[in-house]
Chain A
Amino acid sequence: MPDPSFVFAQSLSGLTAAMFLFLIASGLSLIFGVLRVLNFAHGTFYMLGAYSAFQLVQWIGVGPGRFWLAALGAATAIAIMGGVIERFLFRHLYGKEELYQLLFTYALVLILSDVAKIIWGTQQKSVSRPPELTGAFHVFGATVPHYNLFILLLGPAIALTFWFVLQRTRTGRFIRAAALDRETLGALGVNVDGLYTGVFVLASFLGGLGGALIAPMRATVPGMDTEVIVEAFVVVVIGGLGSFWGTFLGAVIYGQVLSFGILFFPRFSIFAVFALMAAVLIIRPWGLLGRPLK
């Protein structure tokens, strides 16, 4: 048995990874829950968020508060892009076969990741940590950078905000209603088209924010989009497609399986993650906390 402080550090790092995945997967799950579309391009939005954050930091420079401005700016840019894509292209595929919608989002992956290559090249880009959070804590013999702690707190904070909006506000009620029955909601006089665009914008914002916030921790490279989207799929499938707390739970499970898998079976941790995904789909296709689709 490895010593406890190591286990603690390992589980914290798994949890940090989980919070990032939650940020990305929650957007994916939201789009699926309301629009009933699996958005392959969501991973690319995340990558573009990271690149945009890098670019904005280049422009406005490093200084107190600057990084946060860049991160918010990047997420907003991605949100606007998502809105434009939904309004002018995606919208026209709603009535069509699922395959067409999937392939359209895959076409976006191809196009946007090449555009990123044209703009930023293939060299890896890195962003330095915001000066406010460069230090580290020492807890139980483990070193936890302030930035990681911030991420660990941000994840649940976003989850709670989200939950509050979905459960307690008028817009949240509309979103939940749209997930259940789009037509009836429209018949009741709600602007469903606008709502769909709004959901897409919000999901893109979350994806972009995830990318922007991960930029100081990992290098931004081409190909990170196709990697992360599969991870996000695993998370939403484990938790339950379209289920909000399910996504949170799925992210936490994923993070722990991966970080302890690497510890005990270094060779088969990726295998374990996909095996878990397959097992959930076989036993409970709607996920741990999801509800069966009608």
Chain B
Amino acid sequence: MRLSRLPWALVVLAVAFCVPSMGSRFYTFLANDVVIWALFATSLNILVGYTGLVSFGHAAYFGIGAYATGLLMKKLGVSFLIAFPAAGVIAGLCALVFGFFCVRLTRIYFAMLTLAFAQIVWAICFKWNEVTGGEQGMPEIPYPSFDWMERVATVLPFVGGYRTSDYFYFTCLFLVAACFWMLRRIVASPFGRMLTTIRENAERAEFIGVNVRRYELAAFVIAGGFAGLAGGLFGIFNRGVFPDFAYWTKSSEVLIMTLLGGMGTFYGPAVGAVALIGLNQQIVSYTEYWPLILGSILVLLLFVFPGGIAGAVIDLWRRLARRPTRA
């Protein structure tokens, strides 16, 4: 069997499922962080990489999802099974409203309006003390209940005996994998192809009778909805929801992650999440000046590897693959 025929996504998933059995609470924590950010970055990639719309306010939907799940679970005691999809639906609805206005603008104005909406979301989270907890945020979001897992464990071997945080990691992994599967289906569908066409040449797409704005809006809603799901998971993972989830610097962080991994390739942003979070973990143990390092990496990336990690690897792969035929 050739190496490229292996179902790599499943292999990675299987490896990821084994992380908690290594017994290290820290590695599970790190892996959970990566998994959630991978979904967040991939949702942005639908917009930036596939449709060619540069959003500077993607953190808004992440924040909305996080607050939606947090509020439902903490203040209203709603089950995770409802609170999690609700994060996606509410973020998607907000994306529908905001996106309706955003897709009417082009390029820099589009970016500015997404930024403005994100700042509005941030300002609401920051100031509406009664509901969102204001500047202090909302600490102590409860974990979903995993009693049923323990019950399953009495029947099946190897399932029980993990910590709650481990169970939550499994849940995240399962849900994010499901989201990836859906996103993969979306970008491979005729609808997804049309998004790429719009990115390449919106004018031509218009000529052949495509309603470009409607497609862009659909992409905006999908990206916002999945970012909301990522936010919903992150609020629980982080044990609290804070206004800076929606602040504009968060939007640029996820943009950097997407770019680092490689825009326009499906798994690029996930690779970016692994690379950036792993690197962060390595570097903060040496120095507190992580932004300095991140900025330098970004400059290097922009000038030397504009295709990101995935782009560079694909490039290398092709070069290596070509060599035998030439010789």
Contact = CB atoms under 8 A, between A and B. Distances in A.
A111 B296 contact: yes
A110 B120 contact: no
Contact of A274 (B119, B252, B289): B119
B100 to A, nearest CB: 10
Interface in A237-289: 237, 241, 267-268, 270-271, 274-275, 277-278, 281-282, 285
Contacts of A233: 112, 115
A103 B298 contact: yes
Given A277-B116, A278-B117, A106 B291 contact: no
Contact of A275 (B115, B120, B295): B120
Given A230-B248, A278-B101, A93 B124 contact: no
Contacts of A98: 54, 107-108, 111
Interface stretch (B87-95, B143-151, B228-236, B299-307): B299-307
A114 B291 CA distance: 7
- Interface class of chain A by DSSP: helix
A103 B116 contact: no
Q: What bracket does the count of chain B residues touching chain A fall in?
A: 35 or more
Contacts of A277: 112, 116, 119
A226 B56 CA distance: 14
Contact of A226 (B249, B259, B303): B249
B116 A111 contact: no
B267 interface: no
Interface residues of A, number: 41
A285 B306 CA distance: 30
Q: Which of B48, B113, B295, B306 has the most chain A CB atoms inside 10 A of its CB?
A: B295
B309 interface: no
Contacts of A106: 252, 256, 295, 298
Contacts of A158: none
Interface of A: 36, 38, 40, 89, 92-93, 96, 98-100, 102-104, 106-111, 113-115, 117-118, 226, 230, 233-234, 237, 241, 267-268, 270-271, 274-275, 277-278, 281-282, 285
Given A38-B108, A267-B128, A274-B123, 10 more contacts: A38-B111, A89-B299, A106-B298, A110-B291, A115-B292, A226-B248, A226-B249, A237-B116, A274-B116, A278-B117
5 residue pairs, one from A and one from B, having the closest CB atoms: A110-B295, A114-B292, A111-B295, A107-B298, A110-B291
